[in-house]
Structure 1
Amino acid sequence: MSSNVILRDVSEDDLPIYFEQQLDKTANYMAAFTAKDPSDKVVFKAHWEKILNDERIIKKTIILNGEVAGQISSFEQFGEPEVSYWIGREFWGKGVATRALSQFLNVVNIRPLYARAAKDNIASIRVLEKCGFRICGEDKGFSNARSEEVEEFILKLPL
């Protein structure tokens, strides 16, 4: 397992890689709360244009050994600061998410900070818990990726 994970500012050149990563059906299933149609490039581009133009959103590209492994961001959702990440499936199981989140938490010093994960996304829950997040609640919502209502945990990184 390599520890050469770095975060850098998102570049427009990263977007085609993000787009390909989010087309993965298994990754969509695990993330649960995804775009209605991940293959819609117009919606994808509009979504990322909003993100890139919003200075309130902290967004970083995750690099592993020179390759774009995914992305991580912090934004306001439901009135609370939240963190979210997406790791390309080819990078799963290598500790990339844990190292990226750990580094990101040095950039984002807002506390408390929240995260959400589908209850069956054990790997993501473990990543969050390794970085100090604790389950503080539950919610549920419609999952486009699963075409059904999905239960999720709300996790909190305290002060």
Structure 2
Amino acid sequence: MNKVVSILDSLLSKFCIFLTVILVACVVWQVFSRYVLSTPSTVTDEMARFLFIWVGLMGAAYTLGQKKHLAMDFLLMSLEGRSKASLQFIIDLACVFFAGVVMLYGGGTLMEKTLSVGQLSPALGVQMGLIYLALPLSGFFMLAYLLRDLWASLQTFAFSHH
């Protein structure tokens, strides 16, 4: 399991860096073309918007895997033993539900429906369903990390004292 998570960490971090580099290049070109050439590029404007979505969702999955996501954990940190382990398990279950139902299933359904109607982006002419692929893909990565965390929570709960 650790080997799979390590490979996922490496792939996601490199993918996020790649997307960010392209995003920055698009924004720099957009600013240059708008203010220096006085001819804004609609292609890089649209591409930057789509890349921002992808960076945000893939970055959220990576951050979740690194356990560096934003959390209000003052209640969790105030507990100890089985109470803490129980709450962590409930939190992990809620996150699995969200990633599975909203991100993976809901995002996958949105992607499928959009692909089936053939909606294209105005400037790039890209299938919008491919843009929406970021939702179920991010959900899949989140689920992989969350299943690792859920397993760890179960083990902690099983071996914690009253």
Pairwise TM-score range, normalised by the shorter structure = under 0.3
Q: Is the helix fraction higher in 1 or 2?
A: 2
TM-score by length of 2: 0.25
TM-score by length of 1: 0.25
